[in-house]
Chain A
Amino acid sequence: AVVRGCGGVWRRAWRRGAGGPAPAPAPRGQRAVACNARGGAVPAGKSGLAPWVPVVGLEIHAQISSNSKLFSGSQVQFAAPPNSLVSFFDASLPGTLPVLNRRCVEAAVMTGLALNCSINKKSLFDRKHYFYADLPAGYQITQQRVPIAVNGSLSYSLCIDSKTSQMVTKTVRIKQIQLEQDSGKSLHDDTRSQTLVDLNRAGVGLMEVVMEPDMFCGEEAAAAVRELQLILQTLGSSQAVMAEGQLRVDANVSVHHPGEPYGVRTEVKNINSIRFLAKAVDYEIQRQIEELENGGTILNETRAFDSKLGCTVPMRDKEGKQDYRFMPEPNLPPLILYDAKSLPANVNHQQVVNIDWIRERLPDLPSVKRAKLVERYGILPEHSFTLLNEDGLSEFFENVVKQTQMKPKKVIGWILNDLLSYLKQHSLTVKESPVSSFLLADLLNLLEKKEISSTAAKQVLAELWKAEGKTPLEIVKEKKLELIQDQKELEQICQAVIDGQENEVIMMVLG
């Protein structure tokens, strides 16, 4: 804190002085933001004033997993040749009209239900205007006034102590989920000073999930987004791969003293992984505290996270402060949803979306899956998190359990310590594992029947990774790793050992 404090004073001195080299950035990260996961405040710095309370809210855009776009029939596909998936409507040719994609509505309803939202039986579409090269119509169709789902919540858990891996569960309120169009992509070619526009993404359906500022640090934000990601993937409403831009997170960050109103917030964009989300948020909290403690002010601005430098930098605003001139979308009638009660008789089921019908068909959500794993197999809750965190791992685990006599509690150790760490080391997904659940079960059965020792089992597993097509038993035989169950054979071996070490035996006998 001393160093930091000096840094602060030092920096201001530099700012006052005319000329001179640009000041080096003040050392950061001397004190990581103390996220004690109890919603606790960050202790005050050198000022000795009241502690700081960071506040984090998130706006998440999830691309809907659908065959076609939100309002047109063009296909949705990642990394297709530029401008190959563009309908007349997507290019906003004059006279074209939006036609709502039912699948996108269903995906939003599913997501809303999974996030405990109330689903609005009547929601509206609006136009949000701004000029940008990748927004051909000059406006985006969104749901500003009445979104499809509101007032939900999301429970997520995070580890508060890495040693004991103790978990704590928290809840963030979901303000709303709105359906809206994605924009296209602009590529700026500075050398030839031109902008290239790809409209493949223009008009793809998005769900914007707005999380209330109920989080206090990067870890919490990251855990909440990870849980949301798992839910979306379980529902199939979005593939939610951050690296492919199917899940985009903007973080609103501010700090204030307890008992005081929230501070001025900044919006952090350009966050393209969950790990970076935690980093970006924590950096921004730290930056704001330092800025304020040094007598500065926080601007209500948009900042970009630079993953290489690990810091946030002010973004050049598109056109300064914008007035989006919202207006009802006149070409789309209100979106009406039904439930079992309100569903009119003799209606074509292809024409309507029935909330209850969707509710009944929701798959088990991650939280339910975890509870079931804990209950059914007696594993630790934190292990259930790890199992669900990797795509396919819980299924792998359950398959192994089914095929072996070994207790699930013991199987989980092999899964988490051996299988998972190997996969991580080699950056493999569960599906790409060279050892199938069948082979692992086979191996564990040998261990369980005491045919091999656990040390030997690890040796066999090491052989299995090579994926040479051998069964565990073959490897055991080849390497002579079996435990000896025959009394006579054991005596013979012992005798041989004794015979081979005559001197030592004599010494021992003599004492």
Chain B
Amino acid sequence: QVSAALKEGRVTPTELCQRCLSLIKSTKFLNAYITVAEETALKQAEESEKRYRTGQPLGVLDGIPIAVKDNFNTAGIETTCASNMLKGYISPYSATVVQKLLDQGAVLLGKTNLDEFAMGSGSTDGIFGPVRNPWSYSRQYKEKSVLKSQSEDEESNWVISGGSSGGSAAAVSSFTCFAALGSDTGGSTRNPAAHCGVVGLKPTYGLISRHGLIPLVNSMDVPGILTRCVDDAAVVLGSLAGHDPKDSTTIQDNFKPFELPSLTDVSKLSIGIPKEYNAPGLSSEILALWSKAADLFKDAGAKVIEVSLPHTRYSIVCYHVLCTAEVASNMARFDGLEYGHRSNMNKSTESMYAATRREGFNDVVRGRILSGNYFLLKQNYENYFIKAQKVRRLIANDFVKVFQSGVDILLTPTTLSDAAPYMEFIKEDNRTRSAQDDILTQAANMAGLPAINVPTALSERGLPIGLQFIGRSFQEKQLLSVAKWFEKQVKFPVIQLEEVKRHDHDVFQHQKSASFS
């Protein structure tokens, strides 16, 4: 919609950019952004405007305001990973995905908040503080939660955005940008997408370049796409996917962007319902929503069958070993020598390393480094790392078997429940939280499969609930087509942002045009 408006000149890229910047200011309390690149964004918008004026826009994305999670390198704009280690770090290069977006005329508004080095599931554990879920300030939530707890002070009621790409999800959800990049290692894009009521796509491993994404787990990391609708996700995917000579793990072939068909007939589809995803702790309303969604497909003539992924229940332990091992390795480079934080301690090189890393990393990061190094010790390697790799293979094979049996798409919940209030969330430590929250999303990373969160309904508390579709490797087109069909059926409500309305009525009205494609 916005893209058409830009083409027709109903709105100019600069106007659009300014509106977004102004919205970012009025929603500053969400803490979605770490850095707002106002100056460069306006410059990019100006460039875009020139192109539109001469009738030569670069494509659908030209002039579209976007945000990028702060673990993607952006030349000239700070990249912090929400860590003291990289506070003030300005990368000399841009990640391939960032460059691709810029090359297509997108306007980069800023860098979004996350858990330190993307380690977390709440966007609560970064040095810049937690991200607040925009739905905390929606009329939908307030109407329902205020009734219940009138006495409680408003400040303690706000709910988490989910994570670790919580800043990106909140940014999209609060209309401050039209699309945002997240990263997804165990669910970090889909989880906050579910909590913030936006579309969150984790593409197939190898489809999108990781060059310039500061890694968490190299063998599972995938740049994620957060948008307001499935069509937008398809457009962004089309602009990012394909071989990158700078990332040897990307597919060799070039990727052909596709236009999503509007499915009318799903009767030829076979939808798998993996029974293991009815996991302990799954809220009853999500369970109900899940089966309602299954019925939706059934009623439309699709074949809906229960399937089993027996090894999925080992995925949490397995992930813990593989993740921490890679974290221990990937974090070794932060020694204070070449870049980033360096401690003043100068008794010896070793003591400088130790102090730098103690000051630079939070407890979560240090804890993962410690356990990862333990798993990689010579005497433990065989018992932990090798075993975890084998389990990973079993988990992946489960999916292969199910897909070979004729199932096209798997339908599962994305999260166990709707977003928890911050005060509740922080009662448990990061490790426990991550283990619980990743449970439904992680297996797709283990197997490298594409998966997408589609916002489905509001919970009793007035908060978004999403469902997840998992597809076959590199079958994004099928996955997104089904997701689009589902999106159309469920008619997820638009967020009614009270705070923002109050602050910025005009701007908000314009931004309501949900999609850009």
Contact = CB atoms under 8 A, between A and B. Distances in A.
Contacts of A323: 377-378
Contacts of A138: 329, 331-333, 335
A325 B373 contact: yes
Contact of A327 (B246, B326, B333, B334): B326
The prevalent SS among residues of A at the interface is loop
Interface string B243-272: 001111100100000000000000000000
B249 A331 contact: yes
B251 to A, nearest CB: 11
A129 B329 contact: yes
A137 interface: yes
Interface stretch (A91-99, A218-226, A453-461): A91-99
Interface stretch (B29-37, B208-216, B425-433, B450-458): B208-216
B218 interface: yes
B248 A95 contact: no
Contacts of A327: 325-326, 329, 376, 385
Nearest to B81: A94
Contacts of B328: 325
B337 A197 contact: yes
Interface stretch (B8-16, B87-95, B435-443): B87-95
B513 interface: no
Interface in B207-238: 210-215, 217-219
Using C-beta atoms within 8 Å of the partner chain, give the interface range for chain B.
35 or more
A interface residue count range (under 10 / 10 to 19 / 20 to 34 / 35 or more): 20 to 34
A200 to B, nearest CB: 14
A88 interface: yes
B349 interface: yes
Contacts of B349: 133, 195
Contacts of A338: none
A357 interface: no
Contacts of A333: 248-249
Interface in A88-132: 88, 91-100, 127, 129, 131
A62 B247 CA distance: 27
A195 B350 CA distance: 12
Contacts of A136: 333, 335, 337-338
B260 to A, nearest CB: 31
B353 interface: yes
A406 interface: no
Contacts of B335: 131, 136, 138
Contacts of B89: 94
Interface string A383-422: 0000000000000000000000000000000000000000
Contacts of B210: 95, 97
Contacts of A197: 337
Interface in B353-403: 353, 373, 376-378, 381, 385
B350 A131 contact: yes
A325 B214 contact: no
A97 B249 CA distance: 10
Nearest to B209: A97
A93 B326 contact: no
Given A93-B339, A94-B86, A325 B248 contact: no
Interface string B106-122: 00000000000000000
Nearest to B374: A325
A97 B246 contact: yes
B390 to A, nearest CB: 13
Contact of A88 (B93, B373, B385): B93
A197 to B, nearest CB: 7
Contact of B332 (A129, A319, A332): A129
A94 B341 CA distance: 13
Nearest to B389: A328
A131 B95 contact: no
Contacts of A319: 350
Given A95-B91, A97-B211, A326-B376, A127 B329 contact: yes
Interface string A316-357: 000100010111001111000000000000000001000000
Contacts of B140: none
Given A97-B249, A131-B353, 8 more contacts: A88-B93, A91-B338, A94-B86, A95-B91, A97-B247, A99-B246, A327-B326, A331-B248
Among all A-B residue pairs, the 6 with the closest Cβ atoms: A138-B332, A325-B376, A330-B218, A330-B219, A94-B214, A95-B212
Interface of B: 72-73, 79, 81, 86, 89, 91-93, 95, 210-215, 217-219, 245-249, 252, 325-326, 328-329, 331-335, 337-339, 349-350, 353, 373, 376-378, 381, 385
29 contacts: A88-B93, A92-B338, A94-B81, A94-B214, A95-B211, A95-B215, A97-B210, A97-B211, A97-B246, A97-B247, A99-B245, A129-B332, A131-B332, A131-B350, A133-B337, A136-B333, A136-B337, A137-B332, A138-B332, A139-B329, A139-B332, A195-B349, A325-B377, A325-B378, A330-B219, A331-B247, A332-B249, A333-B248, A333-B249
